[in-house]
Amino acid sequence: MQAQEHSIKPAELSFARPDPSTLVVSVAGDWHLRSGMPSHTLVVRQLETAPKPKKVAFEAGKLEGWDSGLLTFLMGVADLCKKSKIELDFDGLPDGVEKLIKLAETVPEKTGARHEREHSTFIETLGKSTISFAQSLDEFLVFLGQVAIAFGKLAVGKARFRRVDLMVILQDCGANAFGIVTLISFLVGIILAFMGAVQLQQFGAASFLADLVGIAMTRDMGGVMTAVVMSGRTGAAFAAQIGSMKVTQEIDALTTMGISPLEFLVLPRVTALFLMMPLLCIYADCVGILGGAVVSATMLHIGFRSYFTETVHAVTLTFIFGGIFKCTVYGIIIAVAGCLRGFQCGNSSSAVGDAATTAVVTSIVYVTVACGIFAFLFNILGI
């Protein structure tokens, strides 16, 4: 049996002017999507050529094959003629093509079926972004209020969650996070010390390097860097865990059994970060100061004993407890933001990743805002 090969002829487009007011568009060859088709630009040039035609007709005597690609091309030509108020004549096309075009013109286009690109001005974009941020903040505060009510029930012994879940989350938020907190805090201490040493040496004040690193780590940097690490690590994990439970309808199952998802899922997570963040903050402060001591010993040749003695004199309990208080608040923000984005997750697997990403962004933004507010308030209070 000999296979019959069908040679596909390229789609051809030609034009003729039987009279100055009529443009005849001739289609020939195979008009298939897979073989490529001529552009509408050729038709536009003919329509703009003087004298401009008042009628467009079609001729398909050499047309050998076609599919939806030909219909798409013809509908595009029809739109061009409609905009230019030019009469169309489809009589020269095959019967099947002509019937499909009439059917397409009879059935109205579904609203919203065609994607239209929106062009917004800078002011509109700024306004939409502001409204979106305000709505996001409103949702966060409402959810924070619901969490506060759940903690009220916990205080009177009416909240329901498993203690073993709290122990597991405590281990994950605490012991399992020591490695990354150690690395980041040590590097931050080194960076602070290196930058401070370069500047302080110019004024002969290198001995104050321990003051700089100690105060910076205990007041702000220890808590902030711990919060950033936990936002990317634990906040995203909270959003992914709760989002996955929503996709698999486990949260609906809890509601059906009469168990509050807020108490069962959110309370252990917020409690765990509330308890672990102060410990991580103290640990980060110590590791950061140690990083500064390494730079001091190697770059300025100041011994560890002198460095730590100067640090003890410079750092007060007010700085330490102020930093711990800030870090505790950051922990609550991270836990609430992660759980909120998990509950707002869509019903697809890709939505879980989006929820985790949004949780990280939300946590870091709100932690930064809180840090700015704390700086302002502490300055007013003289702390």
Tens place of pLDDT per residue across the chain (383 aa): 444 445 677 888 888 888 888 888 888 888 887 777 787 788 888 888 878 888 888 888 888 888 888 888 888 888 888 888 888 888 888 888 878 887 877 766 666 656 566 677 888 888 988 998 888 888 888 988 988 998 888 888 888 888 899 999 999 988 899 999 999 999 999 999 999 988 888 888 888 899 999 999 999 999 999 999 999 999 999 999 999 998 888 988 988 888 888 889 999 999 999 999 999 999 999 999 999 999 999 988 888 999 999 999 999 999 999 999 999 999 999 999 999 999 988 888 788 988 999 999 999 999 999 999 999 999 898 87
Task: Tell me, rounded to whole angstroms, the distance of Cα 87 from its chain centroid.
Answer: 49
User: What is the C-alpha to C-alpha distance for residues 125 and 225, in angstroms, rounded to an integer?
Assistant: 32
End-to-end CA distance of the chain: 95
| H or E element in which residue 58 lies | strand 55-59
Q: Helices (H) and strands (E) in the chain — how many of each?
A: 15, 5
User: What is the C-alpha to C-alpha distance for residues 103 and 211, in angstroms, rounded to an integer?
Assistant: 81
Which of 307, 304, 363 lies closest to 336, judged by CA? 363
Q: What tokens does 96 get?
A: 């099947």
DSSP character at residue 229: H
Which of 331, 281, 292, 294 lies closest to 181, judged by CA? 281
Which of 19, 25, 60, 52 lies closest to 40, judged by CA? 25
3-state secondary structure labels for all residues of 317-382: HHHHHHHHHHHHHHHHHHHHHHHHHHHCCCCCHHHHHHHHHHHHHHHHHHHHHHHHHHHHHHHHHC
